[in-house]
């Protein structure tokens, strides 16, 4: 296992640098730059040129990339062009709320999807199966922003049961209970979307496992149907689902941009939109690096989990 992890880490190094180069080129190919956001009739052209020179925007792209990469290797992500704060500080302040929202949504989505997918597979082609499959398609089909706005209107405005945005109440103490109450709506939206996609995978995997010979042998030994399904079938059915769950992490980071805008959640998604609108290259590059590290780490953990749950897999 140690050798496998070492090989994966070595492979991740050129992938990581490839991501930095591609991200840097795409950022600079986009129209506009931070100085363009300052243009108004009252600012002389000389001042704009001086600002471009100060930010290094007049240098060739390869020089800008080498300068930025050198800072990255020293552990420095640079300074924001809009707020002039260290990019690492901005990301550090926002990544906690985003991870809290993403991890909570993933757990809720999986906890919803597993029992629904198992029940749907056990009662295959029954009315219950059709209802649960239909609900999973509905959860996948409804756009998250539309569902979020609907819940805000119903639960926040009409019924006034839950807060409609933010992570804490303005002027409040900001305790755990307050944070949880603000999490309910965004977590519900993301959890429903995740569950809708995962139900079909779990159902298909369970249907395949339920027809295996070793389950018929377990039933012939006198084991109850619940024990056969929960202990033998479910564990083997979840093995291919691990890869699907691991692939969900990058999608969560991307989807959080929409959800954080709808619910005004102070996380990475909101910071990304602010950086895009202000053409803040250093912040966008820092966000890309953070996302790349999360994706590469998630893929490694997914492969390790495969070996942990499936004894047939051995890494040498």
Mean pLDDT along residues 58-85: 82
pLDDT band per the 50, 70, 90 thresholds, residue 188: very high
> Taking a C-beta distance cutoff of 8 angstroms, is the pair 207, 124 a contact?
yes
Name which of 212, 304, 311, 196 is nearest 248 in CA terms: 196
Comparison of pLDDT for 218 and 118, the residue scoring more: 118
Backbone angles phi, psi at 86, to 5 degrees: -60, 135
For residue 119 the two structure tokens come to 């029940």
Residue 37 confidence (pLDDT) above 70: no
The mean of the pLDDT values for the chain is 81
Q: Tell me the average pLDDT across 276-288.
A: 84
pLDDT of residue 185: 92
Sorted by sequence, the CB contacts under 8 Å of residue 189 that are 6+ apart come out as 144, 147, 148, 151, 259, 262
Q: What is the CA radius of gyration of the chain?
A: 24
For the chain, what are the domain ranges?
95-265
Burial per residue of 177-201, b for 16 or more beta-carbon CB atoms within 10 angstroms, e otherwise: ebeeebbebbbbbbbbbbbbbbbbb
CA distance 62 to 46: 25
Least confident piece of the model among 25-29, 89-93, 118-122, 266-270? 25-29
CB 296 within 8 A of CB 12: yes
The least confident of 97-111, 199-213, 292-306 is 292-306
- Classify burial at 25, counting beta carbons within 10 Å of its beta carbon; exposed 0-12, middle 13-18, buried 19 or more: exposed
Distance between start and end Cα atoms, the chain = 6
> Are the beta carbons of 223 and 290 closer than 8 angstroms?
no
The CATH class that applies to domain 95-265 reads mainly alpha
Supply the pLDDT for residue 48: 67
Task: For residues 156-173, give the mean pLDDT.
Answer: 82
Q: What is the mean pLDDT of residues 145-174?
A: 84
Q: What is the pLDDT of residue 42?
A: 66
CA distances from 84 to 78, 104, 157, 190, 290 (A): 9, 32, 37, 33, 19
Phi-psi region of 22 (alpha: psi -120 to 50; beta: other; left: phi over 0): alpha
Question: What pLDDT does residue 177 have?
Answer: 86
Nearest to 304 by CA among 265, 246, 229: 246
CA atoms lying within 13 Å on the CB side of residue 123: 13
Residues 51, 279: contact at Cβ < 8 Å? Answer: no
Q: In the structure encoding, which two tokens stand for residue 308, read together?
A: 């942990």
CA distance 5 to 142: 39
Q: Which residue has the tokens 């102070």?
A: 266
Q: How far apart are CA 94 and CA 102, in angstroms?
A: 13
Nearest to 79 by CA among 299, 300, 304, 283: 283
The yes-or-no verdict on residue 41 having pLDDT over 60 is no
pTM greater than 0.85: no
Among all chains, which residue has been given the structure tokens 């895009």? 276
* Lowest mean pLDDT segment, chosen from 85-89, 103-107, 193-197, 213-217: 213-217
Tens of pLDDT, residues 170-180:
766 668 888 88
The residues facing 87 across adjacent strands are none
Q: In which band, very low, low, confident or very high, does the pLDDT at 186 lie, cut at 50, 70 and 90?
A: very high
With a pLDDT cut of 70, the percent of the chain lying above it is 88
39 token code pair: 């243009």
Higher pLDDT, 164 or 59: 164
- 184-186-190 Cα angle (round to 5): 115
CA separation for the pair 85, 135 (Å, rounded): 46
CB count in 10 Å sphere of residue 53: 12
């Amino acid at each position: 296992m140690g050798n496998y992890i070492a090989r994966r880490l070595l492979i991740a190094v050129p992938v990581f640098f490839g991501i930095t180069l591609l991200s840097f080129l795409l950022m600079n190919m986009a129209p506009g730059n931070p100085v363009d956001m300052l243009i108004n009739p009252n600012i002389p052209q000389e001042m704009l040129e001086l600002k471009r020179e100060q930010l290094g925007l007049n240098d060739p792209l390869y020089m800008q990339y080498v300068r930025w990469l050198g800072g990255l290797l020293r552990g420095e992500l640079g300074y924001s062009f809009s707020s002039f704060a260290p990019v690492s500080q901005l990301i550090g302040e926002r990544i906690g709320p985003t991870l809290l929202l993403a991890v909570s949504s993933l757990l809720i989505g999986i906890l919803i999807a597993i029992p629904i997918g198992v029940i749907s597979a056990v009662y295959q082609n029954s009315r219950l199966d059709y209802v649960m499959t239909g609900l999973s398609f509905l959860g996948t089909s409804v756009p998250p922003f539309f569902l979020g706005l609907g819940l805000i209107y119903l639960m926040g405005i009409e019924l006034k049961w839950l807060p409609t945005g933010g992570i804490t109440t303005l002027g409040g103490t900001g305790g755990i209970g307050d944070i949880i109450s603000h999490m309910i709506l965004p977590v519900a939206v993301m959890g429903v979307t995740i569950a809708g996609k995962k139900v079909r995978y779990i159902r298909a995997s369970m249907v395949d496992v339920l027809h295996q010979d070793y389950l018929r042998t377990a039933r012939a030994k006198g084991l109850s149907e619940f024990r056969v399904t929960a202990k033998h079938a479910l564990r083997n059915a979840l093995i291919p689902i691990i890869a699907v769950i691991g692939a969900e992490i990058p999608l969560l980071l991307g989807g959080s941009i929409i959800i954080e805008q709808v619910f005004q959640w102070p996380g990475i998604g909101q910071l990304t939109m602010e950086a895009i609108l202000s053409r803040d290259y250093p912040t966008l590059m820092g966000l890309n690096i953070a996302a790349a590290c999360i994706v590469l780490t998630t893929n490694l953990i997914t492969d390790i989990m495969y070996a942990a749950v499936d004894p047939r897999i051995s890494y040498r």
